[in-house]
Amino acid sequence: MTFLRRTVIAAAAAVALSASFSALAQDIKPRLIRFGYGLNEQSNQGRAAKVFADEVAKASGGKMKVRAIGAAALGPDTQMQQALIGGAQEMMVGSTATLVGITKEMALWDTPFLINNTKEADALLDGPIGEKIKDKLQDKGLVGLVYWENGFRNLTNSKRPVTKVEDLDGIKLRVMQNNVFLSSFKTLGANAIPMAFSELFGALETKTVDGQENPYNTILSSKFYEVQKYLTVTNHVYSPWIVLVSKKWWDQLSKAEQKVLMDAAKTSRDYERKDTREEASKAMADLKAKGMLVNELAPAEADRMRNKLTRVYAEIGTEVGMDLWIATQNELLKIRGK
Ligand code: TF8
């Protein structure tokens, strides 16, 4: 090849390359994204927020900057949701349970003993049912990108080991700000008190409440073992987290920018679920080593709880709509048959 010919080819290639770069460059503008979350930086939530931030930076050539802000420094979940709806904050990750006041179908995820294992969780959340519920947020000013795993919730308290439902009698139990949780734990005999997560450690420390329920990971990362003696493995509900975007802001983004966020959200989801599961599998031993007394709820006792909750199941069905309720049961049968 002649020198001239080589130069021409190289120049043509450079032009083509810079054309595609500048197309991308035009479509991706410098953006600052405030991404709020409730747990601390050392938690599974904090680690995955960092992965999300890194992915967005990488895919946008550093133009889109995610500032991950943990420990509810931008406010508890419900406050951040309102900031997103109003367009004052771009993104957050938090509990689906605190969204029920905005999108009632989210109450489906609060159904006690709905999901038995993580395989069912992933299939249901990433499948048509999960998508459908996520899409309902759009009318309310929010865009749901992906579900992360909060996890199977377990009970802790500072009063006594809970081995049967009667042991919950009179225990002041913090629950999330959500009617299904309130109603479930009242029905089980606890004195259920709704409270934002950001208030919880202080409330446990001062004995304003005796107990709470959260996955192992959170009991560990939020150091609840310092103020809670008893842990009962109940696995009473599988809680998702959901990554949310302000719709007001999302609608101003180019397709390329939206794709950067969606792709990064999916990468963060896959990382987060794996990380959370690894941590959860070791957490019981860690919590015992920190001095917690752990007991597992006997299957017969779990059945007794479930029976007591019949009325709550009916309430959830009404809340989310019978069509969705039945479609979910059918989807679960399908998942379990696989
Ligand atoms: C709870 C939730 C919390 C989440 C978190 C702050 O008990 O399980 O982990 O809301 O995003 O409030």
Query: What CATH number corresponds to the domain at position 40?
Result: 3.40.190.170
- Whether the CB-CB separation of 287 and 230 falls below 8 Å is answered with no
Task: Give the whole-angstrom CA distance, residue 112 versus residue 306.
Answer: 8
| Count: domains in the chain | 1
**pLDDT of 15 higher than 60:** no
Residue 73 phi/psi, 5-degree rounding, is: -65, -25
**pLDDT of 179 higher than 90:** yes
Task: Give the whole-angstrom CA distance, residue 292 versus residue 228.
Answer: 7
pLDDT at residue 7, as a whole number? 57
- What does the pLDDT average to over 52-71? 98
**pLDDT of 10 higher than 70:** no
CA of 94 from ligand 1 middle (Å) equals 6
Q: Across all residues in the chain, what is the average pLDDT?
A: 94
Ligand 1, atom 11, residue with closest C-alpha: 94
Q: Which atom of ligand 1 is nearest to the CA of 196?
A: 12
Instruction: List ligand 1's pocket residues with C-beta within 6 A.
Output: 37-39, 77, 94-95, 98, 150, 176, 197, 214, 218, 239, 241
- The pLDDT tens digits of the residues spanning 92-138 come to 999 999 999 999 999 999 999 999 999 999 999 999 999 999 999 99
CA of 165 from ligand 1 middle (Å) equals 24
Tokens of 42: 């050392």
pLDDT at residue 173, as a whole number? 98
Banded pLDDT at 26 (limits 50, 70, 90): confident
CA of 26 from ligand 1 middle (Å) equals 38
Ligand 1, atom 2, residue with closest C-alpha: 95
Nearest to 304 by CA among 178, 118, 164: 164
**pLDDT of 19 higher than 90:** no
**pLDDT of 24 higher than 80:** no
Q: Which atom of ligand 1 is nearest to the CA of 39?
A: 6
Q: Are strands 191-194 and 64-69 parallel, antiparallel or unpaired?
A: unpaired
CA of 7 from ligand 1 middle (Å) equals 60
CA of 38 from ligand 1 middle (Å) equals 7
pLDDT at residue 13, as a whole number? 56
- What does the pLDDT average to over 172-187? 96
pTM over 0.95? The answer is no
Mutate to test the pocket of ligand 1, among 148, 176, 182, 213 (most ligand atoms within 8 A of CB): 176
Long-range contacts of 114-117 (CB under 8 A, 24+ apart): 114/237, 114/238, 114/328, 114/332, 115/237, 115/238, 115/332
Task: Give the whole-angstrom CA distance, residue 268 versus residue 275.
Answer: 10
Q: Which atom of ligand 1 is nearest to the CA of 198?
A: 6
pLDDT at residue 336, as a whole number? 97
- What does the pLDDT average to over 153-169? 98
For residues 21 and 34, which has the higher predicted lDDT (pLDDT)? 34
Q: Which domain holds residue 171?
A: 3-337
pLDDT at residue 4, as a whole number? 57
The CA-atom distances, in angstroms, between 118 and each of 41, 160, 237, 241 are 24, 29, 12, 14
- What does the pLDDT average to over 38-51? 98
CA of 132 from ligand 1 middle (Å) equals 23
Which residues share a beta bridge with 156? Answer: 212, 231
Mutate to test the pocket of ligand 1, among 98, 218, 238, 276 (most ligand atoms within 8 A of CB): 218
- The pLDDT tens digits of the residues spanning 257-282 come to 999 999 999 999 999 999 999 999 99
Residue 282 phi/psi, 5-degree rounding, is: -105, -10
Banded pLDDT at 25 (limits 50, 70, 90): low
Task: Give the whole-angstrom CA distance, residue 40 versus residue 63.
Answer: 26
Ligand 1, atom 10, residue with closest C-alpha: 95
Consecutive H or E run containing 93:
strand 91-95
Mutate to test the pocket of ligand 1, among 92, 95, 153 (most ligand atoms within 8 A of CB): 95
Banded pLDDT at 338 (limits 50, 70, 90): confident
CA of 315 from ligand 1 middle (Å) equals 23
